[in-house]
A = this chain, B = another copy of it.
Amino acid sequence: MSKFFPSELIKAKRRGQTHTKEELEFLIQSYTRGELPDYQMSAWLMAVFFQGMTSEETALLTEQMLLSGSQLDFSDLPTPAVDKHSTGGVGDKTSLMLAPLVAAAGVFVPMIAGRGLGHTGGTLDKLEAIPGFSVNLGLREFAEQVRTVGAAIIGQTAEICPADKKIYALRDVTATVESLPLICASIMSKKLAEGIRGLVLDVKFGSGAFMKTVEDATALATGLIEIGKHRGVKVRALLTNMNQPLGRYVGNALEVEECLQILRQESTDICALNDLHDCQEVTLRLAGEMIWLGDKASDPEEGYAMAVDILKSGQALTAFEAMVARQGGDLKSLPKAQFRRTWKAPQAGYIKAVDVEKMGLAAIELGAGRLKVTDTIDPVAGLFVHRKPGDKVEAGDPIVTMFASSEKHFDSAEKTLAAAHEFSLNSVPQRELIERVLGAV
């Protein structure tokens, strides 16, 4: 591999040239082995930030990141293994329900999930709110559970895409995170390592998403779909609205509670089942796609109908309980917050818009998330959203209820919530929940 000079490769990218497979192999594998120094990789990453990559190049980069570590192999299974990836939102707990629901349809779901950072939550943090639940299975144990239970959700392991782990840490401290090809390669390399043959993407747009506009979300979705094509993995992308939190609950144990309400199809004292419609609907739509990709339905619509049956019949709940039990979780002792306070409408009118990122930050103030990777999470902290954009309110109506282990952050979180809400005297049209579907047919 010594035929390459790293500084010449950096210069080529700086000039906007396209790398060959061999060049990317050299850059990624020698960096992973510790031969290419950080300072050359970071200069290259910044050149990529400015000059971009072709879709072919991005696919080759993804492949090299994938090849830097272990890959799961489910090719002996009778039907394709399938997974879902969300680009991250506030209140997005669909993965918890999806994996068991789709498994109940006979689809194999090997899900390697992430933690929350910044204003969005993480699937692993939500699962860990369930006492005893372990996300730290080894790859062998993980694969075994997928084969026997149908679904498993674990955290990133050291064997999967070590190149991505190392490069991501470097991007984080060198201002090279916001690069579309680097984002696409990072996401897809980890997903492809799961040994899947189908992938559904939930690409969020709006004030609570990383991509603020439909256009940006489309660009990201398109980039991810292209990589899938290159690797022979069918990818579908739903562009979903993150101009309001998904569902009513934000926070780790609270979101598990919301999942249970949906899976049990029950209303509670605080929340009517109908209030959870958007979260349920996105889950069912994603499930329909996965069931189709997993060869258990002839199209996503049939998959959707199957998903509805599985949910209504209680099979999804049973599958969820089985998965949680297998990973050591005890749903009966889900923790609850000792303190709550409700922020009420300061005026009558309509909720015009919500800054969902700010709402996510209010939840973090209460302890529901982390701003730094070293922050710890309080599983019981979070929000219940009584009113959403477009809703009519009278002065004094409850808008958001805060939950926490102490009252000390209620004042500041309430200020953040107030700053996140915009009111209007006139009714306000709201956007569709699912804006667009892209990808394989």
Check B175–A7 contact: CB distance below 8 A: yes
Q: Interface code A154-191, partner B: CB below 8 Å = 1, 0 otherwise? A: 00000000000000001011111000000000000000
Residues on B with beta carbons closer than 8 Å to the beta carbon of A49:
14
Check A39–B170 contact: CB distance below 8 A: yes
How far does the Cβ of A41 sit from chain B's closest Cβ, in whole Å? 7
A40 CB within 8 Å of chain B? yes
Residues on B with beta carbons closer than 8 Å to the beta carbon of A42:
39-40, 42-43, 46
Least CB separation from A13: chain B residue: B175
Check A175–B50 contact: CB distance below 8 A: no
Least CB separation from A51: chain B residue: B50
Check A173–B41 contact: CB distance below 8 A: no
Check A174–B50 contact: CB distance below 8 A: no
A345 CB within 8 Å of chain B? no
Check B10–A174 contact: CB distance below 8 A: yes
Check B14–A173 contact: CB distance below 8 A: no
Choose among B6, B10, B11, B173 the residue that contacts A7 (Cβ–Cβ < 8 A). B173
Check B39–A172 contact: CB distance below 8 A: no
A394 CB within 8 Å of chain B? no
A37 CB within 8 Å of chain B? yes
What is the count of identical protomers in the complex? 2
A38 CB within 8 Å of chain B? yes
In angstroms, Cα B173 to Cα A337, docked, is 55
Residues on B with beta carbons closer than 8 Å to the beta carbon of A45:
43
Given A46-B47, A49-B14, is A39 in contact with B173 using a C-beta cutoff of 8 Å?
yes
How far does the Cβ of A165 sit from chain B's closest Cβ, in whole Å? 16
In angstroms, Cα B174 to Cα A291, docked, is 48
In angstroms, Cα B10 to Cα A43, docked, is 11
Name 20 interchain pairs, CB-CB below 8 A, sorted by A. A6-B173, A7-B172, A7-B173, A7-B175, A11-B175, A14-B175, A37-B39, A38-B39, A39-B41, A39-B42, A39-B170, A39-B173, A40-B173, A42-B43, A43-B45, A43-B46, A43-B175, A46-B46, A46-B50, A50-B50
Beyond the given A10-B174, A43-B176, A47-B175, please list 16 additional residue pairs across the A-B interface where CB-CB is below 8 A. A6-B173, A7-B175, A11-B175, A14-B46, A14-B49, A14-B175, A37-B39, A38-B39, A39-B39, A39-B42, A39-B170, A39-B174, A40-B42, A42-B42, A43-B174, A50-B50
